[in-house]
Structure 1
Amino acid sequence: MPPGFLAVFSEPGANVTIDEYQDWYSNEHIPIRLDHLPSFLTGARYSASDSLRPSWVAVYDVDDTSTFFLESYTKLRTNRSPREADLVKRLELLDRRTYEVIGDENKGLTSSYHPVDPTKFILTQGIECPDDAALKGWFNAIAKDLNNVEGWTRTGLYKCIDNLKSGMSVGSGEEEQKVPKYLVIYEFLHPAAIDSSSFKSTIQRHSAKFDVNFVDGEERKWGLYRAYPGIAQS
């Protein structure tokens, strides 16, 4: 099966203090994955640098999409600790999205989220596109040109295979659970590259040709908070 990827967007909200949130995420939530599941290759957290919400995203490289269906992984949600179960109920938002990797273009990187020199700045975009073939055509076109953008280091393209939103801000309707079919993550050495004309023109130039549509509200800028060690790196 193809490599997997996990992105979890979250917002503590008014009922969870930032100190409580950070302690839970860094000292319980991530360690029970990275310290015990060798299929979780990397894990890192980013905070919003665009003043929008949600304020946080956690990203994980996973060796195989089959991991998402294994009992060793699913039990982490069904058998939460009392502390985690209580906190999760009080979060404003927990938006978990699992993906398969369908594209990866980089400058010789083996891992962007390894705790040794992780990627400092990322841009995420939600995408809708008629089919995988069209999107891969777009990805191949931009990948070639992005090599000429100063400060760019990597682009990953992901297809959503499952998602779940929960939290005090999430309603009960089906519309509340909708997320874009695809996610693209661009990685940069410095934040100025995200707003550079060379980067923006590269993306815009190929989007219309391949009927790629960027979903409103799903373009976000992030700065590294922390990358975490794990059993897969030892």
Structure 2
Amino acid sequence: MAHPALLLAFSDHGATVTGDEFTDWYDNEHVPLRVDVPAFLSWTRWKAADGAQPTWAASYDIASYEDTLRPPYTTLAETRSEREARVLRDVGYMERRMYELIESPVLPPAAAFDENKRTRFVRFVSTDVKPSGEDVLNRWYDEEHILMLSKLPGWVRSRRFVLREWSRTGVEGQNDQQPVPRYLAVHEWESVDAVLDPEVRKSFLTPLRAELDTVLTVLHGRTFEYYRHWERK
């Protein structure tokens, strides 16, 4: 059975492409071309809320990873406009990640969850562990961490994914080919005040988290705020 997938893209317009053109291309050409492709189930852009770079993220729920390997999805890259080809060539940073959903026993969404709306904030947390550490990572997320997050004000939903493929391009991006972490957690929030509070974060330092720290090789989180989404008519 095919698992649901997630396409996640991080980007910055760089020095050659202006911010106005980048936004116009993304909002009025790039995303709209994907709205009528059956593999896509949602289309959302986010802007950094943590002061870090890249500044932009786009997330797309996808029916399955297998759907991205055949038309009409593959036709998108084969029929790019002249402008799209130029922007993708000259953009400062473009990182594309494709994930599959991990069907773990995570909690259902909060009562405030509405699949037809977007939360105000999203936090993307990338992790990698030593080969011996996958069981500890899964236990931490499934038995402890997401349960703790769900009790905080503002939490809406958490999902976990495993990487299937990635690419990093752009004038600056092509110079960094450090592999993308294998695991991703996507936490959706209406407010991030509680989860970012230093005292709350201290409460996350449990014995299981200490065990996880012995096998973690990457733990990197980014917080973004809602910018725009699209709907299929």
Deviation at residue 154 of structure 1 after TM alignment: 1.1
Give the share of equivalent positions with the same residue, in percent. 30
Q: Helix, strand or coil for the counterpart of 1:161?
A: strand
Q: Would you say the 8 A contact 2:152–2:195 is kept in 1?
A: no
Matched AA of 2:182: K
Counterparts of 1:97-112 in structure 2, within 5 Å, are 97-102=97-102, 103=104, 105=107, 106-108=109-111, 109=113, 111=115
Q: TM-score, normalised by structure 1?
A: 0.86
Q: CA RMSD in A?
A: 2.2
Q: Is the 8 A contact 1:7 1:58 kept in 2?
A: yes
Q: Kindly tell me: are residues 199 and 3 of structure 1, through their superposed partners in 2, closer, same or farther at Cα, counting changes over 3 Å?
A: farther
Q: Give the corresponding residue for 2:172.
A: 169
Unaligned 5+ runs, structure 2: none
Tell me what 1:64 maps to.
64
Q: Secondary structure at the match of 2:72?
A: helix
- Return the offset for 1:189: 1.0
Aligned to 1:45: 45
After superposition, where does 1:124-135 map in structure 2 within 5 Å?
A: 124-129=124-129, 130=131, 132-135=134-137
Contact 2:95 2:173 in 1 (8 A): no
State the 1:79 CA deviation.
Answer: 2.5
How many residues align structurally?
A: 223
Q: For residues 96-128 of structure 1, give each alpha carbon's deviation from its aligned partner in whole angstroms, at most 9, with x where no partner exists.
A: 0000011454225363xx4xx311111221101
Measure the CA separation in 2 of the matches of 1:144 and 1:63: 27
Deviations, residues 20-39 of structure 1 (Å, cap 9, x unaligned): 111111111111112x2122
Which residue in the other structure is 1:139 paired with?
141
Deviation at 1:65, TM superposition (A): 1.7
Identify the residue that residue 220 of structure 1 maps to in structure 2: 222
- Per-residue deviation, 1:197: 4.4
Q: TM-score, normalised by structure 2?
A: 0.86
Kindly provide the amino acid, as one letter, of the partner of residue 157 in structure 2.
R
Shift of 1:80: 1.1
Are 1:149 and 2:113 matched, yes or no?
A: no
> Hey, what's the Cα distance between the residues in 2 that align with 1:9 and 1:37?
21
Q: Identify the residue that residue 14 of structure 1 maps to in structure 2.
A: 15
Q: Distance in 2 between matches of 1:136 and 1:26?
A: 37
Q: Distance in 1 between matches of 2:164 and 2:178?
A: 13
Give ranges in structure 1 of 5+ residues lacking alignment: none
CA contact (8 A) 1:164 1:177 kept: no
